[in-house]
Amino acid sequence: MDRRDFLKKTGPAVALAAVTGGTGLAFHNREATRHRSLFVKSANFEVPPDPSLPILTSATNTDPVAALNAALDAVGGIGRFVQAGERVVVKPNVGWDRTPEQGANTHPALVSEMVRLCLSAGAAQVIVADVSCNDPRRSFLRSGIKEAGEVAGASVMLPTPEDFVDVDLGGLVLTRWPVLKHFVQADRLINMPIVKQHSLTRCTIGMKNLYGILGGRRNRLHQEIDQSIVDLAAFVRPTLTVVDATRVMFRGGPQGGSLDDVSVENTVMCSTDQVAADARAAEFLGLSGRQVGHIALAARAGLGSLDYQAAGYREVV
């Protein structure tokens, strides 16, 4: 079924699951409450391809907002991705109790501008949400993302146990799992990762950032982490991936802390291909996509292109 039919048919079930799910904790590395299951084949938020446009754009500017707008315009502009009346979820990385300068979370100025753009395109509602690794209140506050999102007009949702529903993700590793309900109720999903070194996966960019829709004990997935990331990327197919490479954490990730571990790159990328976005962004860490297990595996699974140059890449100013 298409997305709108799915929302019509399952909206009440989502609401019921949120109410009847109990009061157990469902945050990172904690046991998930059992909710009513939603059997969803995929959460495909993609827009149709446009052969006249690149699949990946990149802009560099000391002003992150200017870089975002240049990259977004080159991939078709906000009107390609958000229509009037749609509910949009913006998914930054808000995993850590860190300041913007420390490079652990998405730059708040980028989140604020994306919210503003979505509302200017006629979005009925914009929700900013993530499942933090550190305490959510501290992470959202110290990162600057709570204030940035709210000032721009978004509903910034800190997760509560009642916000999770059990979803059949249909993966090889990720099967039934608690998912933050906002990510199955939306019309559009804009994924906004930051580029960081990661001690387990070598890097965390777009596809790994999707872990932030999951509750439950996510550390149970670490033994098969590459496949679990690919399962998640196959289930959640974002409308747009906006990569924050304004500050790149090249070591000490994913939490970081030292400013000596952060390189200022002043770059923002926009992509309709999450594999291409990750492959290009990994180069900021001295890696190719083929050297990163989950990126190479996602390409083999047909989720996108490792060869972003051949697929359609444009640098803009």
Rounded Cα distance, 275 and 23, in Å = 37
pLDDT at 287 over 90: yes
Residue 204 has pLDDT above 60, yes or no: yes
Q: Provide, rounded to the nearest whole percent, the portion of the chain with pLDDT above 70.
A: 87
Domain containing 39 — which CATH number?
Answer: 3.40.50.11440
Average pLDDT value over all residues in the chain:
90
pLDDT for the residue 10: 44
pLDDT at 156 over 70: yes
- The model's pLDDT over 5-42, given as tens digits with 9 standing for 90+, comes to 444 444 444 433 333 333 233 344 444 445 556 656 57
pLDDT for the residue numbered 219: 82
Question: In the prediction, which pLDDT does 37 show?
Answer: 61
pLDDT of the residue at 39: 57
- Kindly tell me if the per-residue pLDDT of 276 is higher than 80: yes
Tell me the one-letter amino acid at 102.
Answer: Q
- pLDDT on residue 250: 97
Per-residue confidence (pLDDT) for residue 23, from 0 to 100: 28
Angle among Cα 124, 127, 129 to the nearest 5 degrees reads 165
247 vs 19, residue with greater confidence: 247
Q: Give me the pLDDT at residue 15, please.
A: 37
Q: How confident is the model at residue 317 (pLDDT cuts 50, 70, 90)?
A: confident
3-state secondary structure the chain: CCHHHHHHHHHHHHHHHHHHCCCCCCCCCCCCCCCCEEECCCEECCCCCCCCCCCEEEEECCCHHHHHHHHHHHCCCHHHCCCCCCEEEEEECCCCCCCHHHCCCCCHHHHHHHHHHHHHCCCCEEEEECCCCCCHHHHHHHCCHHHHHHHHCCEEECCCHHHEEEEECCCCCCCEEEEECHHHHCCEEEEECEEEEECCCEEECHHHHHHHHECCCHHHHHHHHHHHHHHHHHHEECCEEEEEEEEEECCCCCCCCCHHHEEEEEEEEEECCHHHHHHHHHHHHCCCHHHCHHHHHHHHCCCCCCCHHHHHEEEEC
pLDDT tens across 85-107, in order? 999 999 999 999 999 999 999 99
- Domains identified in the chain, total number: 1
Model pLDDT, residue 220: 85
Q: Which domain holds residue 275?
A: 3-316
Question: What does the pLDDT read at residue 223?
Answer: 87
- Chain centroid to CA 301: 19
- Taking each helix axis from N to C end, the angle separating 108-120 and 145-152, rounded to the nearest 10 degrees, works out to 20
- Asked if pLDDT for residue 135 goes beyond 90, the answer is yes
Instruction: Please report the pLDDT score of residue 214 as a whole number.
Output: 96
The residues facing 262 across adjacent strands are 249
Mean pLDDT (whole number) for 250-273 = 97
Please say if the pLDDT value at position 172 is more than 60.
Answer: yes
* Pairwise pLDDT comparison (30 vs 235), residue with the higher score: 235
Beta partners for 165?
A: 179
CA distance 89 to 128: 6
Q: Which of 203-207, 217-221, 230-234 has the lowest mean pLDDT?
A: 217-221
Q: How many CA atoms lie within 13 A of 296 on its CB side?
A: 9
Please state, in angstroms and rounded to a whole number, the distance separating the CA atoms of residues 243 and 101: 16
What are the distances in angstroms from CA 88 to CA 91, 153, 209, 240?
A: 10, 12, 17, 11
pTM of the predicted structure, to 2 decimals: 0.89
Residue 217 confidence (pLDDT): 86
